[in-house]
Structure 1
Amino acid sequence: VLLLAILLAAGWLLVLGVGLWVLVKELLTTRVPPTITHPVKFRILHYIFQLILTWGNLLEKLKICSMPHFFRFIQDKVIVKKNPGVSVKDLHFGTIPVRLFQPKAASCSPRRGIVFYHGGGAVFGSLDCYHNLCSFLARETDSVVLSVGYRKLPDHHYPVIPQDCLNASIHFLEALQTYGVDPCRVVACGDSIGAGAGALVVQALLDRQDLPQFCAQVLIYPILQGVNYQLPSYQQNPNAPFLSRDFLMNCACKYLAIDLSWKDAMLKGACIHPDAWKKYGKWLSSDNIPQRFRSQGLKSEILGPFNEAAYLETRHVFEAKISPLLADDKVIAQLPKTFLLSLDRDVLRDDTLLYKKRLEDQGVPVTWCHMEDGFHGCIILFDKKYFFFPCSQSVANAVVSYIKGI
């Protein structure tokens, strides 16, 4: 009995200690963006996020459970709402779990189709986590929505995510008639890494004459390149809540199977071969970012000194199959009309701005929406009662408004 009491006391002390440590760290290092409308609520939400991350990392170090598995276990306890106006089916396309959302109301003609690729940095996100958003998209746009449940870390690495998304998309495109979808109105949509995967899927299918082509791509705060980490948004928002530069780098290295010891070289650009910068710098340089996003005092890219060992370990990030921003002009020119949504205080903001310029330079119609008060991942909170933020609904409404116009 005494031993049990000691163990329980030690457990409670550990829980309390971790909670206090995360709280102190939160108060000292996290700066709530001044544009956030509910700062106290925002800080509570971010504290919970950091607490789950910390416990996940602690359990991983103790070899009890991996951080991604722990986080997804907690995350999937989120309540999935039933929408009376939408029919939902869980399916498998081969080994890939997908979820189909179809409006129950009868339609006299084939509906629009949306293939949705969720975000989460290859760590978070799931069919359940994005269930309410996909149901909302299906209802509000009167579309058939397919949500793709691709495989993630720690068990699966690159190129699993784009492969799963591509295979699920092909399966859907081949069976559009079965789902009552108009082959001329299929949209690729996603947020964060899911948006990046969506961009890769659209590019990969451009030469598939046997399949219907996506008529549009909707990319919500996407990650589109893994080369230049010295862009203004990376310098301005290194500690941005929910996606700090360091956390992004950790996720990217783990997903791309790059040892974390090379992270510093990647941040400094020491892994960028001078010849590669000559080829891609015209697309990746911060000179392409509009002046209003470049604060005075920010440094332009200072690469090097070049580290050949780092280059050899990371050179695959220059492949267009990882960084869709680096696709050839002839590929970019064939892309469908595009909706891009960026957030002001987001490390990924400039990926969107660079892609916008590339698309426009090649004559691709672009609709750009920029949110001053948003934060990374905010769209999934659009229907959360206690953690609702106006920016979440604004992002969701902007996406719906664009898709309804297709």
Structure 2
Amino acid sequence: MILVITFFTAVCLLILGVSVWVLIEEIFTVHVPLAITHRGNLLEKMKICSMPRFFRFIQDLVVPKNNFGVLVKNLHFGTIPVRLFQPKTTSSGPRRGIIFYHGGGCVFGSLDCFHNMCSYLARETDSVVMSVGYRQLPDHHHPSTLHDCLNATIHFLKDLKTYGVDPARVLISGESVGAGAAAIISQLLLGRQDLPQIRAQVLIYPILQAINFQLPSYQQNQNDPFLSRKFLMTCVCKYLAIDLSLIDAMLKGNVIPPEYWKKYKKWLSSDNIPQRFKSQGSQPEFPGLFNETAYLETNNIFDVEVSPLLSDDKIVAQLPEAFLVSCEYDVLRDDTLLYKKRLEDQGIPVTWYHVEDGFHGCILLFDKNIFSFPCSHKVMNSVVSYIKSI
């Protein structure tokens, strides 16, 4: 019976993955010619639900939840849903705390989707894990996601005793866009005398800037099936309420004022990427000819609450130590490399784990049996090992 259930679950996951990939373009269709009346999501047309919401529902439906050895509680911090994972084993004192923000590009992903990962982290590291169910597209745009993550974090930090958490061992963690949120919140919490200080930031292939889309990894992995550059930029634009017609200008850097690039290239230029990660051959000229109109429509990309890589040195120098995961076959690989350099330049301890056979999102497959990959286990094991060292 167990084998049948496992097989059924695996088939459902495979079908879901293929379906999401085939329909991903449809999710973000902007201009649909009137003559093509059959296009679009039937549920969306019937005003039942949007396609992203439908796929989140299906995604959560087919992912079995593993609570082995862990007590799980669904709570609300105000209006923000959170899920608490606490090991069932007794503890001689307060446990380590992990605040986790899930990935999914603010389109997919949910508390349910990342349930098994958080449960595993809680059990294997003997930590209390708090996962945040933040608001997402299509109904909510920036800064809703960030505000939900920040407010839930503050609420948790103010009440650590209730959850049996050691205030000296609280980590902020995230995956993909959630890792980007973790980096931003690590900066926003600096100097808060009313809250415990964050012990470390654990960032799993984060997105950390929305300015230079011509970095080597953005070119080398632009057609990666797990996160293409086109889909990434579509998510960025949707999240920031930027018209998709401006994607080409953003790609070419036409939205970057010359004086801005003069200031930021020391942090965002491809010159900061180690040579071994660069392909041979000519590179496109970047940034392109400045377009003021496009800049005015996209200038929120220069906000440090969107691109934390742009924070001043005096902010970066105060950040907690970091554990950074990057994957070779990931369009976001170089964001991690740039952040690593920024932290190290300011004397912040960094532990970097690069997965040569890794791809974006691979950690979610760590428990998917035959659909798992060696890189999935490598990433998960590296995260667990680092957290246990804190």
TM over 0.5: yes
Whether the 8 Å contact between 2:16 and 2:59 is mirrored in structure 1 is no
Whether the 8 Å contact between 2:20 and 2:55 is mirrored in structure 1 is no
TM-score normalised by structure 1 residue count? 0.87
Whether the 8 Å contact between 1:339 and 1:366 is mirrored in structure 2 is yes
| Alpha-carbon offset, residue 53 of structure 1 | 2.8
Cα distance in 2 between the residues matched to 1:396 and 1:366: 18
AA partner of residue 290 (structure 1): P
The answer to whether residue 289 in structure 2 is matched with residue 305 in structure 1 is yes
Whether the 8 Å contact between 1:137 and 1:400 is mirrored in structure 2 is yes
Aligned residues: 365
Whether the 8 Å contact between 1:241 and 1:376 is mirrored in structure 2 is no
Equivalent position of 1:271 in the other structure: 255
Q: 2:314 aligns with which of 330, 333, 347?
A: 330
Q: 2:154 aligns with which of 156, 162, 170?
A: 170
Equivalent position of 2:211 in the other structure: 227
| Alpha-carbon offset, residue 46 of structure 1 | 5.3
Q: 1:103 aligns with which of 87, 96, 100?
A: 87
The answer to whether residue 15 in structure 2 is matched with residue 47 in structure 1 is no
Cα distance in 2 between the residues matched to 1:77 and 1:379: 19
Cα distance in 1 between the residues matched to 2:186 and 2:107: 23
AA partner of residue 50 (structure 1): W
Change over 3 Å in CA distance of 1:301–1:221 after alignment to 2? farther
**More displaced 10-residue stretch of structure 1: 298-307 or 202-211:** 298-307
Equivalent position of 1:371 in the other structure: 355
The answer to whether residue 100 in structure 2 is matched with residue 129 in structure 1 is no
| Alpha-carbon offset, residue 305 of structure 1 | 1.2
Cα distance in 2 between the residues matched to 1:405 and 1:99: 24
Cα distance in 1 between the residues matched to 2:188 and 2:295: 26
| Alpha-carbon offset, residue 385 of structure 1 | 2.3
Cα distance in 1 between the residues matched to 2:251 and 2:25: 24
Equivalent position of 1:152 in the other structure: 136
- The list of structure 1 runs, each at least 4 consecutive aligned residues, that deviate by more than 2 angstroms after superposition, is 42-49, 51-67, 78-84
| Alpha-carbon offset, residue 388 of structure 1 | 1.3
Equivalent position of 1:80 in the other structure: 64
Listed one character per residue, the Cα deviations across residues 334-388 of structure 1 (whole Å, up to 9, x for unaligned) are 0011000001111100000000000000000000000111111111111012411
The answer to whether residue 143 in structure 2 is matched with residue 143 in structure 1 is no
AA partner of residue 238 (structure 1): Q
TM-score normalised by structure 2 residue count? 0.90
Cα distance in 2 between the residues matched to 1:43 and 1:235: 28
Q: Secondary structure at the match of 1:401?
A: helix
Q: Secondary structure at the match of 1:235?
A: helix
Change over 3 Å in CA distance of 1:241–1:320 after alignment to 2? same
Whether the 8 Å contact between 1:102 and 1:144 is mirrored in structure 2 is yes
Instruction: Give the gaps of 5 or more residues in structure 2.
Output: 1-12, 29-38
AA partner of residue 188 (structure 2): A
Cα distance in 2 between the residues matched to 1:229 and 1:53: 21
Whether the 8 Å contact between 1:49 and 1:242 is mirrored in structure 2 is no
Q: Secondary structure at the match of 1:330?
A: helix
Listed one character per residue, the Cα deviations across residues 214-252 of structure 1 (whole Å, up to 9, x for unaligned) are 100000000000011110111111101111000001100
Listed one character per residue, the Cα deviations across residues 178-219 of structure 1 (whole Å, up to 9, x for unaligned) are 100000000001110000001111100002111001100000
Change over 3 Å in CA distance of 1:141–1:385 after alignment to 2? same
Cα distance in 2 between the residues matched to 1:84 and 1:268: 49
Q: Secondary structure at the match of 2:193?
A: coil
Whether the 8 Å contact between 1:119 and 1:190 is mirrored in structure 2 is yes
Cα distance in 2 between the residues matched to 1:353 and 1:146: 27
Cα distance in 2 between the residues matched to 1:202 and 1:60: 38
The answer to whether residue 175 in structure 2 is matched with residue 204 in structure 1 is no
| Alpha-carbon offset, residue 66 of structure 1 | 2.3
* Identity rate, percent: 69
The answer to whether residue 323 in structure 2 is matched with residue 339 in structure 1 is yes
Equivalent position of 2:6 in the other structure: none
Cα distance in 2 between the residues matched to 1:48 and 1:393: 25
Equivalent position of 2:45 in the other structure: 63
The answer to whether residue 167 in structure 2 is matched with residue 183 in structure 1 is yes
Cα distance in 1 between the residues matched to 2:133 and 2:14: 30
* CA root-mean-square deviation: 1.7
Cα distance in 1 between the residues matched to 2:155 and 2:111: 18
Cα distance in 1 between the residues matched to 2:27 and 2:273: 37
Cα distance in 1 between the residues matched to 2:77 and 2:17: 35
Cα distance in 1 between the residues matched to 2:26 and 2:258: 41
Cα distance in 1 between the residues matched to 2:282 and 2:54: 38
AA partner of residue 254 (structure 2): A
Q: 2:305 aligns with which of 311, 321, 324?
A: 321
Cα distance in 1 between the residues matched to 2:288 and 2:75: 48
Q: 1:382 aligns with which of 350, 366, 376?
A: 366
The answer to whether residue 119 in structure 2 is matched with residue 112 in structure 1 is no
Change over 3 Å in CA distance of 1:165–1:50 after alignment to 2? same
Equivalent position of 2:35 in the other structure: none
Cα distance in 2 between the residues matched to 1:316 and 1:388: 38
